[in-house]
C-alpha cells in the first residue's frame, strides 16, 4: 500500500512568493493533519480535517496560511506571501477515523530566502 | 495549554544495553499515547501505542503507562546502532484525535 504522499519534497522560494504544498492521504483514511517541524518549536499541528472538513485550525500561525481539502484524496497547504520564518519541514499525516494512529508523509522541506 | 515533556538528551547507551526514554504530560484527560521514531532527515514513524495502564510489549520495545503519575516510557532492549534516532512522545486527549508531541529525545547507540 502507498503511504502518505507529499509534494514537492523540497521547495526553495523567495520572500513574498506564494507556496503550495500538496498531500495525498492513505486511501481509506478520513482524517488528515498538517504539521510544521522546526528545531526550536518541534512538531506543531497546524490544522486537521475530518471527512474533508476542517475541524481545528487553531495552530495556523496567521492569515498567510490557508489549507483546503477538496476531496478525500487531496489536500493543499498554501502560504501567501511567504516569509523566511516560514522555513521548516511541513508534514502531512493521515489516520483512519476512530483510530488515533497517525501515519506521516515524507515531508516538504521549505526554505524561504 | 496541553504539554508533553521529554528530556532532549542526547541519551547515549552501548550496543546491547537497555535504553529508557521518558515522557510526562499535563492533561489528565489524555487517553492515548504514542511513540514515534524519527531518523535524521526523515519523517516520524509510529513504533508503539498504548491506551491502558501497565506495560505493552512489541519485540524489543516495551511501552509503559502510568496515568496516575501522568508518565509514559519506552524501553528498548538489546539496543542496536540502528536504533539511533530521535524518539517523539505524543499524547491524545479526549476524542478529537489531536496529538500533542514532545520535542523528542535523541538516542545514540554506540557500537
The CA distances from residue A79 to A45, A67, A101, A110, in Å, are 16, 9, 27, 11
Look at residue B14 in the predicted model and tell me its pLDDT: 97
Q: Is the pLDDT of residue B95 over 60?
A: no
Q: Is B44 helix (H, G, I), strand (E, B) or coil?
A: coil
Q: A29 CB contacts (<8 Å, ≥6 apart)?
A: A94, A95, A96, A97, A103
DSSP assignment, residue B18?
A: P
Bridge partners of B91?
B33, B100
pLDDT tens profile A67-97: 999 999 999 999 999 999 999 999 999 998 7
Confidence of residue B31 (pLDDT cuts 50, 70, 90): confident
Q: Is the pLDDT of residue A101 over 90?
A: no
| Nearest residue, CB atoms, B46 vs list A33, A91, A101 | A101
Q: Is the pLDDT of residue A36 over 60?
A: yes
CA distance B88 to B90: 6
Interface of B with A (CB under 8 A): 32, 34, 36, 42-46, 49, 88, 92, 96-104
Look at residue B29 in the predicted model and tell me its pLDDT: 86
CA distance A85 to A27: 33
Amino acid at each position: 500500500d502507498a503511504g502518505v504522499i507529499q509534494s514537492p519534497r523540497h521547495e526553495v522560494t523567495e520572500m513574498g512568493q506564494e507556496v503550495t504544498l500538496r498531500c495525498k492521504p492513505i486511501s481509506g483514511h478520513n482524517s488528515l493533519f498538517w504539521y510544521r517541524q522546526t528545531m526550536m518549536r518541534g512538531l506543531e499541528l497546524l490544522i486537521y480535517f475530518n471527512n474533508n472538513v476542517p475541524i481545528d485550525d487553531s495552530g495556523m500561525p496567521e492569515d498567510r496560511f490557508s489549507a483546503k481539502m477538496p476531496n478525500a484524496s487531496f489536500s493543499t497547504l498554501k502560504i501567501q506571501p511567504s516569509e523566511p520564518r516560514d522555513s521548516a519541514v511541513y508534514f502531512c499525516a493521515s489516520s483512519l477515523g476512530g483510530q488515533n494512529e497517525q501515519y506521516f508523509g515524507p515531508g516538504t522541506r521549505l526554505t524561504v530566502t | 495549554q496541553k504539554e508533553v515533556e521529554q528530556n532532549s538528551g542526547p541519551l547515549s547507551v552501548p550496543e546491547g544495553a537497555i535504553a529508557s526514554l521518558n515522557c510526562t504530560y499535563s492533561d489528565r484527560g489524555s487517553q492515548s499515547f504514542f511513540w514515534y521514531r524519527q531518523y535524521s532527515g526523515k519523517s516520524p514513524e509510529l513504533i508503539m501505542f498504548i491506551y491502558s495502564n501497565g506495560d505493552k510489549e512489541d519485540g524489543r520495545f516495551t511501552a509503559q503507562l502510568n496515568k496516575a503519575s501522568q508518565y509514559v516510557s519506552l524501553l528498548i532492549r538489546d539496543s542496536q546502532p540502528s536504533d539511533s534516532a530521535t524518539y517523539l512522545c505524543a499524547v491524545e486527549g479526549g476524542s478529537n484525535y489531536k496529538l500533542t508531541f514532545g520535542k523528542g529525545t535523541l538516542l545514540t547507540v554506540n557500537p
